[in-house]
Amino acid sequence: MTGIPLIEARDLIKTYGSRRRLIGESHPVYAVNGVSLKLARGETLGLVGESGCGKSTLGRLILGLEIADSGSVEFDGSPLARAGSAEWRRSRARMQMVFQDPLSALDRLLPIAAQIREPLIIHKFGSQAQMNKRVGDLLNAVGLTAAQGRRLPGELSGGQRQRAVLARALATSPDLLVCDEPTSALDMLIQAQVLDLFAEIQSASGVAILFISHDLRALRRVSDRVAVMYLGSIVEEGPAKQVLEAPRHPYTQALISSVPGVGGLSPNRILLRGEPPSPTQRRPGCAFQPRCAGAVHACNHTAPTLLPVSNPSHRVACHLLHPGGEPASIARPVA
Amino acid sequence: MQSLTAHSSDRRPDLLAADVEANICRLEHPRPTFRSVMPEANRKREIAGNGPQRALDTVPLIDIRNLTVTFGDTRILRGIDLAIEPGESVGLIGGSGSGKSITWLAAMGLLPKTAQIGGSVLLRGSEILGAPRTSLERLRGGTIGIVFQDAAAALNPVRSVGWQIAEVLQLHRGMVGQSAQDEAKRLLDLVGIPEARRRLGSYPFELSGGQNQRVMIAMALAAQPAILIADEPTTGLDVTIQAQILDLLRTLRRETGMALVMISHDLGVISDVCERTYVMDAGMVVEEISVRDLHTSPKHSYTKRLVAAAPAWNLGGHLTDHAESPGPAPVRAAIENAA
């Protein structure tokens, strides 16, 4: 693994304007509010958060499908080319995406083998024979038969369609795959198969995956690292095992304790009252403060920053863990 | 990328075809008997049913017998047998297309005319399959309440939620005017919508997904149903909101004494609110099992596969004994700081 991360995003901010009314000001929606993240080659980063927290916007910023208001994204050490430019188009072969609804991502009138072939034609993969072989290999890799490749998307099941989308995304041997809720529309059994497929392809091809999902159980199955977003910011980030099994941020703790386990919901689960506040109504301090059981005075006026806890690769943005905003290591021990 | 491995055959998606074949084989064998795993209430019913004088309260609330649905040449339901006792909470698990939802659509006469329906659906002992439209309309949203997955799509977008709840109150309970408004407000309070009085004037698009689902539940409760069919009510919701809705359903069931049928493909959701569950696959009930046994001793191969596929149960397992864990430290520290 080289020292340069495949993706390095710094201080990304993306706002969407809300419509200005006749009277009053317009309130911009802070979809992504100062996010920095790194993704190493061959790594799977799970990005989790509730609807509207900005996780999909972050995925689109990293692909260059949206332009950030401020901040930068570097892909393989160089800044992302402007969307639509010839250079960006070339780099697109190296970054691909998979969305939630495979049926709307596929052309309903074209057999899936032809759709898997399209990126090969666009990026001038090689001769007809080479392309045929590549399409066959890709179908095989995602567990589809050649006969299924001749079918239209409507003739396949939901899980098979998502496999087809994945085969198409892998056609150009990308370095990065951004998957936005790729298994949310599938039932548990098919979901498990598709998640295993992701893990398998990841280890076989070394593609880095940004796996965006609100489903912590799915995330755990594929992720090396996990980042938790709340209202546009990352509140906790670290190795998947640590974040999911020993979460430190109060929001992550509440989120994880709300996932029904073998016996249903945990009797000790942490109740979160209400719903995430609207991203238009920004307040100073920690965004989670209104719903946090442990909020202290500092949470009202200063936004916490991501700082390492026990393990340097596990970072949490919470005043309770870092009183005074200093790293935990030099902070006064809490009585 | 060249090193992409070929897939092991057991993960091939043509498994689906294999499933269907397996089921056809299963059909030729005698159906397993569920009596052994049936809870006390059902066994009592068995006994009472055979006895000379059958007490009224031992008749199941809903008794579905050999329900079949066929579209053209395609058999969607291959003979469903299930029974729900008054006040009971029962799950219905299965993959997409297993017939979980179709069972209830068929029972309530909501399938298109092209569907051929066979078998029997008894509500408190009387047949409702093929009942006249007027009596079915009293049942739907009356005795039998339904909550669907996509609440925003199920609600009327151009009417306020208060209007929609009042409509149910008028149709099923004859309430109008101020009394209907007051009752609608009480229902919104009951399902935990803040500022209920003001929210009566809100439209579905002004509410969040979780709030719309609460409105759907309030509408279903408006008619004081004997049974609530919840069809994937939390599938599109975030986990923290899902937990709130599951809590709500559990509380409402305790307070109203209604029966609950939870349709879901999420075993965790079923485990949380149900006492027992039916497992469906390819239009058949393949197993009936108590939720307690679901994860430890599933009998049918499909149930076993479902249990095995459920990814990563019990996240943050330490949360069950968080006295010693480093997990909730911030909250604890804050409490200690404040003290």
**Tens-digit pLDDT profile for residues B149-178:** 888 889 999 999 999 999 999 999 999 999
> How far is the C-alpha of B84 from the C-alpha of B61, rounded, in Å?
6
pLDDT at A328 over 70: no
First to last CA, chain B: 58
* A8 φ, ψ (degrees, to nearest 5): -135, 115
Residue A329 has pLDDT above 70, yes or no: no
How far is B132 from chain A, CA to nearest CA, in Å? 36
| Contact criterion met (CB < 8 Å) for B14 and A145 | yes
**What's the pLDDT at A25?**
63
- Name the one residue in this structure whose structure tokens are 């990563």: B312
For the cut 80, the answer to whether the pLDDT of residue A281 exceeds it is: no
Task: Say yes or no for a CB contact (<8 Å) between B331 and A248.
Answer: no
The Cα–Cα gap between B81 and B34 comes to: 10
According to the per-residue pLDDT averaged within each range, which of A268-272, A330-334, B210-214 is highest?
A: B210-214
Closest by Cα among A254, A98, A243, A237 to A179? A98
Interface test with B, best of A189, A216, A259, A321 (most B CBs within 10 A): A189
Three-class SS of chain B = CCCCCCCCHHHCCCHHHHHHHHHHHHHHCCCCCCHHHCCHHHHHHHHHHHCCCCCHHHCCCEEEEEEEEEECCEEEEEEEEEEECCCCEEEEEECCCCCHHHHHHHHCCCCCCCEEEEEEEEECCEECCCCCHHHHHHHECCCEEEECCCHHHHCCCCCCHHHHHHHHHHHHHCCCHHHHHHHHHHHHHHCCCCCHHHHCCCCHHHCCHHHHHHHHHHHHHHCCCCEEEEECCCCCCCHHHHHHHHHHHHHHHHHHCCEEEEEECCHHHHHHHCCEEEEEECCEEEEEEEHHHHCCCCCCHHHHHHHHHCCCCCCCHHHHHCCCCCCCHHHHHHHHHHC
pLDDT reported for residue A218: 87
B220-232 residue pLDDT tens: 999 999 999 999 9
Contact residues, chain B, for A195 at CB < 8 Å: 311
Cβ of B7 and A293 within 8 Å?
A: no
Taking CB atoms and an 8 Å cutoff, what residues of chain A touch B7? Answer: 140-143, 197
With tokens 């993969």, the residue in question is A125
At residue B158, the pLDDT reads 95
Q: What is the residue type of B338?
A: A
- Please give the Cα distance from A313 to A243 (Å, whole number): 11
With contacts defined as CB-CB under 8 Å, which chain A residues touch B96? 157-158, 186-187, 190
- Position A18 scores a pLDDT of 62
Q: Which residues of A touch B328 (CB under 8 A)?
A: 250, 253, 270
> Which residues in chain B have their CB less than 8 angstroms from residue A142's CB?
7
What pLDDT score does A109 carry? 94
- Chain B residue with CA closest to A181: the answer is B236
Chain A nearest-CA distance from B107, in A, is 24
Residue of chain A with shortest Cα separation from B293: A263
Q: Mutate which of B244, B318, B319 to disrupt the A interface (most A C-beta within 10 Å)?
A: B319
| Min Cα–Cα distance to chain A from B203, Å | 17
**What percent of chain B stands above pLDDT 70?**
75
pLDDT exceeds 70 at position A24: no
CA angle B320, B241, B188 (to 5 degrees): 125
Contact at CB, A192 and B309, closer than 8 angstroms = yes
Contact A112, A51 (CB under 8 A): no
> What is the spatial distance between Cα A249 and Cα A238, in angstroms, rounded to a whole number?
12
Summarised one tens digit per residue, pLDDT across range A70-100 is 999 999 888 988 877 888 888 888 999 998 8
The residue of chain B nearest to residue A292, with distances taken between CA atoms, is: B331
Biggest CA pair distance of chain A:
70
Angle at B312 between CA B306 and CA B317, to 5 degrees: 130
> Can you give the pLDDT at residue A21?
58
B247-305 residue pLDDT tens? 999 999 999 999 999 999 888 899 999 999 999 999 999 999 999 898 889 999 999 98
Cβ atoms within 10 A of the Cβ of B337, count? 13
Nearest to B246 by CA among B220, B280, B210, B285: B210
- Which tokens go with B280? 């469906």
pLDDT, position B31:
38
CA of A84 vs chain B CAs: smallest distance (Å): 27
Tell me the nearest-neighbour CA distance from A166 into chain B, angstroms: 13
Q: Between chains, do A321 and B329 touch, taking CB under 8 Å as contact?
A: yes
**pTM assigned to the model:** 0.79
Average pLDDT, chain B: 79
- How many of the other CB atoms lie within 10 Å of CB of B52? 5
pLDDT bin (cut points 50, 70, 90) of residue B103 is very high
**pLDDT attached to residue A19:** 59
Q: Is there a contact between A221 and B311 if contact means CB atoms under 8 Å apart?
A: yes
Distance from CA of B191 to the nearest CA of A (A): 13
> Which residues in chain A have Cβ-Cβ distances shorter than 8 Å to B246?
260, 264-265
Per-position b or e across A122-138, b if 16+ CB within 10 A of its CB: eeebeeeeebeebbebb
Q: What is the 3-state secondary structure (H, E, C) of chain A?
A: CCCCCCEEEEEEEEEECCCCCCCCCCCCEEEEEEEEEEECCCCEEEEECCCCCCHHHHHHHHHCCCCCCEEEEEECCEECCCCCCHHHHHHHHHEEEECCCHHHHCCCCCCHHHHHHHHHHHCCCCCHHHHHHHHHHHHHHCCCCHHHHCCCHHHCCHHHHHHHHHHHHHCCCCCEEEEECCCCCCCHHHHHHHHHHHHHHHHHHCCEEEEEECCHHHHHHHCCEEEEEECCEEEEEEEHHHHHHCCCCHHHHHHHHCCCECCECCCCCCCCCCCCCCCCCCCCCCCCHHHCCCCCCHHHHCCCCCEECCCCCCEECCCCCCHHHCCHHHCCCCC
pLDDT in tens, B3-41: 444 444 333 344 344 444 344 333 333 333 343 344 444
Residue A228 gets the label, from left (phi > 0), alpha (psi -120 to 50) or beta, of beta
Q: Is the pLDDT of residue B317 over 80?
A: no
Q: Please report the number of interchain residue pairs, chain A to chain B, with beta-carbon separation below 8 angstroms.
A: 213
Contacts of B271 in chain A (CB under 8 A): 260-264
Residue A207: list chain B partners with CB under 8 A: 1
Q: Check: CB of residue B107 under 8 Å from CB of residue B143.
A: no
Q: Which backbone phi and psi does B246 adopt, to 5 degrees?
A: -65, -40
Contact between residue A18 and residue A28 where contact means Cβ atoms under 8 Å apart:
yes
Which residue do the tokens 């968080």 mark?
B322
Beta strands at B259-264 and B89-94: parallel, antiparallel or unpaired: parallel
Residue of A nearest to B271 (CA): A264
Distance CA A212, CA B176 (A): 48
CB nearest A259 (choices: B239, B336, B338): B239
- pLDDT of A70: 93
Q: What percent of chain A has pLDDT above 70?
A: 93
Residue B53 has pLDDT above 60, yes or no: no
Residue B316's region, left for phi above 0, alpha for psi from -120 to 50, else beta, is left
Q: What is the pLDDT of residues A204-258, one digit of tens each?
A: 889 999 999 988 888 888 999 999 999 999 999 999 999 998 999 999 999 988 8
B272 touches A265 (CB < 8 A): yes
Check whether A151 has a pLDDT greater than 80: yes
- How far is Cα B334 from Cα B2, in angstroms, rounded to an integer? 53
Q: Any idea which residue has 């997955």 for tokens?
A: B149
Helices A112-122 and A158-170, axial angle in degrees (round to 10): 20
Radius of gyration of chain A (CA): 21
Residues of A in contact with B13 (CB under 8 A): 143-144, 148, 157, 159-160, 163, 193
